[in-house]
Amino acid sequence: MGKILPEGEGEVQEYVDICDYAVGLSRIMSGKVIPSERPGHMLLEQWNPMGIIGVISAFNFPVAVFGWNQALALVGGNATLWKGAPSTNLASVAVTRIVADVLERNNMPGAVSSLVCGGADIGQLMAEDKNVNVLSFTGSTRVGREVGLTVQRRFGRSILELGGNNAIIVMNDADLKLVVPATVFAAVGTAGQRCTTTRRLLLHEDIHDTVVERVVKAYKQIKIGSPLEPGVLCGPLHTKAAVQQYKDAIAAAVAQGGKVIHGGNVLERKGNFVEPTIILASPNMPIVKQETFVPILYVMKFKTFEEAVEINNSVDQGLSSSVFTKDTTNLFKWMGPHGSDCGIVNVNIPTSGAEIGGAFGGEKETGGGRESGSDAWKQYMRRSTCTINYSDQLPLAQGIKFE
């Protein structure tokens, strides 16, 4: 899909890691035993498979996102039906062949991990199909909204991993040695085509100019080119349409009062190559509240921590967020009810690079879904609350007498 080789290898490793995680998880997927208010009764929870888990993944992570879903689905006793992005079908076919081979070598049908290739029409059929008990969709908020409505109409269950408009907040006590590489990695990695890409850099007024100078210096050293070449940090955009979105977003930012201080150009070479771009902006510019899936970083200035949190939370998306600070008061405010409203809330690390051990997903127009670690496995299971009467009496709950 165009990402550089180390990132591609990292994505495959992420699939391996979630498989390791799921194997261990399969031994501890426990329900609760709950005290019963009735004598001679036991109250407990039982988790059962849902059946078929549908997965629609996006082009930017053509391997790992399916792995997050499939590993948890399989250890829960489910089968999977996967539709990868139409532009990354080779990756989908390769992964499916590998998984089917593993299943068959362990006396399971390869069809437990099934693949369908196609476009929006196939995705629509999956969303409408009552046999697809859970549908996990990764993609844009616009399409995800329709997927969620379609699945809900048939009372199915959906897991939505949608847009992100992620911000890094840098306080005036931050360790700037961490800030610069974190910002460059999160803003430029995968050519800005991650849902967790840093799109907004919020800088305290005391350190604004210093950080801008250092980030611009780092951007000037970024090597753009074939993602298979050693030393390349930024590969191409995925499509010509993305190149046009890049140009449109820069034009809109300038029209709204933004100032391009680095990049801003489409490179005249074969392929969809653009310059990673930095734009000085303000929070009230409409363009900074939109997710544009390209390497554009909007830099904004703030005076207080509370102002920065308000800017972070002012967008419709709620996926990932980061603050760089040494102040424990701000640290715990950031994680608390009056801090970040995102599903991923980081301190002194960038917005991207999530570990598989924690649940991945976000709030608001990011969809509210959770995948990967923690208790995300419960979304692929059906919960039964079971009451067992092992006595020879029939007492009723709440002490009701029915005589």
Read off the CATH number of the domain in which 264 is found: 3.40.309.10
Structural element, H or E, at residue 42: strand 41-49
Secondary structure E strands in 220-349: 259-262, 277-280, 296-302, 317-318, 320-324, 344-347
Q: Is 367:144 a contact under the CB 8 Å cutoff?
A: yes
Model pLDDT, residue 180:
97
Q: Does one domain contain both 224 and 295?
A: yes
d(CA 154, CA 385): 23
Best CA proximity match to 320, nearest among 90, 166, 94: 166
Domain of 26, in residue numbers: 5-162+367-388
In the residue annotation, 161 being an active-site residue is answered as yes
Count of domains forming the chain: 2
pTM over 0.85: yes
Q: Which residue has the tokens 């809109």?
A: 252
140 within domain boundaries: yes
398 within domain boundaries: no
178 within domain boundaries: yes
Q: Does one domain contain both 372 and 251?
A: no
Structural element, H or E, at residue 91: helix 89-105
28 within domain boundaries: yes
309 within domain boundaries: yes
Phi, psi of 34 (to 5 degrees): -115, 135
Q: Helix, strand or coil for residue 368?
A: coil
Q: Does one domain contain both 83 and 148?
A: yes
Best CA proximity match to 276, nearest among 214, 185, 348, 213: 185
158 within domain boundaries: yes
Q: Does one domain contain both 211 and 314?
A: yes
Q: Is 381:49 a contact under the CB 8 Å cutoff?
A: yes
Q: Does one domain contain both 156 and 253?
A: no
Q: Does one domain contain both 12 and 153?
A: yes
Q: Does one domain contain both 195 and 327?
A: yes
Structural element, H or E, at residue 159: strand 157-161
Q: Does one domain contain both 174 and 87?
A: no
Q: Is 264:249 a contact under the CB 8 Å cutoff?
A: no
d(CA 235, CA 229): 10
Model pLDDT, residue 27:
95
In tens digits, the chain (403 residues) has pLDDT values of: 999 999 999 999 999 999 999 999 999 999 999 999 999 999 999 999 999 999 999 999 999 999 999 999 999 999 999 999 999 999 999 999 999 999 999 999 999 999 999 999 999 999 999 999 999 999 999 999 999 999 999 999 999 999 999 999 999 999 999 999 999 999 999 999 999 999 999 999 999 999 999 999 999 999 999 999 999 999 999 999 999 999 999 999 999 999 999 999 999 999 999 999 999 999 999 999 999 999 999 999 999 999 999 999 999 999 999 999 999 999 999 999 999 999 999 999 999 988 999 999 999 999 999 999 999 999 999 999 999 999 999 988 888 887 7
Q: Does one domain contain both 199 and 324?
A: yes
d(CA 63, CA 376): 19
356 within domain boundaries: no
401 within domain boundaries: no
Q: Does one domain contain both 88 and 140?
A: yes
Q: Does one domain contain both 192 and 50?
A: no
Q: Does one domain contain both 197 and 118?
A: no
Residues 6+ apart with CB under 8 A from 257: 281, 282, 285
Structural element, H or E, at residue 113: strand 113-115
Distances (CA, A) of 138 to 117, 252, 271, 367: 16, 27, 25, 10
Assign residue 105 the CATH number of its domain: 3.40.605.10
Catalytic residue among 9, 128, 146, 161: 161
Q: Is 293:314 a contact under the CB 8 Å cutoff?
A: no
Q: Which two tokens stand for residue 197?
A: 């890409």
Q: Which residue has the tokens 């489910």?
A: 78
Q: Burial of 132 by CB count in 10 Å (0-12 exposed, 13-18 middle, 19+ buried)?
A: buried
